[in-house]
Amino acid sequence: MSKDLPVLFCVGTNHESAGLDFRETLYLEKEEIDVSLPKVVEAHGIKEVMILSTCNRLEIYGVLERTEIDHQHLVDIFVDLQKYSPTPKKDLEIEIKNHCYQFFNQEAAQHAFSVASGLDSLVLGETQITGQFKDATNSAQTKGTLGPILKRLTQESFSSSKKVRTQTDISKRPVSISHAAIDLANRVYGHIKDYNVLIIGAGEMAEIAAKYAFKYKPKSLSVVNRTFNNAQKLVDNLGFGRAYGWEDLHEILPKCDIVISSTAAHDFILNREHIERSQQNRDGKATFMVDIALPRDLDPAAGELDDVYLFDIDDLKQVVGENYEERRKAAEKGKKIIKESAQSFLGWMGSQKLKPALAGFRSYTDDLFDQEKNKSLAKGPLQKLDENQKKALDQLFKSIANKMSGDASRNVRQPPEGMFAEDLADSLQILFPQKAKRDDDA
């Protein structure tokens, strides 16, 4: 029976398995995923699927009915996600194989729970990933690819995340990539209160950076966004700073000392030439820039310019070391919670295969007792029973059926040592076929 069990899998890359350059190569827009994913599902017979795409990871969670899959099969799935995109990327298979990880069943569940809890993040214990995991779940639900197993997986992921954050000190101090970017600026300047800060973008990461920067009371705070109203809304929520439209970016840039960029642009919004021209208007003053977007917003070549200090997401690893030991100890406790949750989830997965056999056995006993009761009431002494007596007899049969099915369920789910639940469930289906048919002469 175990050969028919569905397989939960996860395949992907993250900040630990691949550098920023390669993660950027693999990056897919939502629209690209929408085109590519159905083709991958069809090609590989994936029953359920969910994609998690952030600045630090691209992961596929899915369910396959076949158990003969191996790690190479998961690599093929990941390669095909790129191959079937509207802008196919070729000759990536070897690099993907070298930089992606593959998990099955309990390990896949454990990884999902760790990700949702922030225990697998570049910034250990960050909270933003939980929202991103929820967005991925909602997207899969909308597309109709979130089946019963992934639905339960995501529910348990959020439950595990809540346990980790309430039962450990992992979230004692809020941290995220956006926090780390501002912390790095403070480390470079000593304190940003005497400097002008520019936030490019008005999305979630930009908003977090702006709010965190505001706590340090910078000399000024400017927000530039393609949609001016979104920039204005962010400034209004802060009660501080000034919003600008996209057309004002090159005018504002030379006036700012610290630049944090996080947009959803497909290409660089500032190339080397843009930043070089800006520096010519800064009278030799340095500009500190942190690019927390994927794909990157700022041309890495600008980091070669004099008085330009450019950092990207992977550079922030040095910053997040602050208070790391405290968070690491909390994470160790969190990992135990995650492991227990994953074991429980795997038990639930296994029990799903037992349900048809146990339901079939219950149906067998119900049909058998009902059939035999009706035969007995139709002839002999039991014909003379009144309605109350018939009801009592019916209740007796139901009580016996409940007892038999309850004992069978308990013993199948908790098999004796040396026996397997799947084998016992198989035996039930063979010995007691769902429709109880009895020959009248039996």
Q: Whole-angstrom Cα distance, residue 291 to residue 309?
A: 11
Q: Whole-angstrom Cα distance, residue 66 to residue 81?
A: 20
Peptide bond into 148 cis (omega under 30): no
Total Cβ atoms within 10 A of residue 157: 26
Total Cβ atoms within 10 A of residue 226: 17
Residue 55 among the catalytic residues: yes
Alpha carbon of residue 396 to chain centroid: 50
DSSP summary character for residue 416: P
| Beta carbons within 8 Å of 11's beta carbon, 6+ residues apart | 59, 60, 74, 75, 77, 78, 100, 101, 102, 103
Q: How distant, in Å, are the alpha carbons of 134, 172, 335 from that of 332?
A: 24, 15, 5
Q: Helices 324-377 and 105-116 meet at what angle, rounded to 10?
A: 130
Phi, psi values for residue 252, rounded to 5°: -80, -35
Q: Supply the Cα-derived Rg of the chain in whole angstroms.
A: 30
Beta bridge pairs of residue 46: 64
Judge whether 242 and 197 are in contact, CB under 8 Å: no
Beta bridge pairs of residue 104: 9
Catalytic residue among 10, 55, 100, 256: 55
For residue 200, give both structure tokens. 């490019």
Q: Whole-angstrom Cα distance, residue 349 to residue 351?
A: 5
Q: How distant, in Å, are the alpha carbons of 122, 123, 132, 240 from that of 128?
A: 12, 10, 7, 23
Specify the DSSP element, H or E, that contains 317.
none
| Beta carbons within 8 Å of 333's beta carbon, 6+ residues apart | 167, 168
DSSP summary character for residue 140: H
Catalytic residues: 55
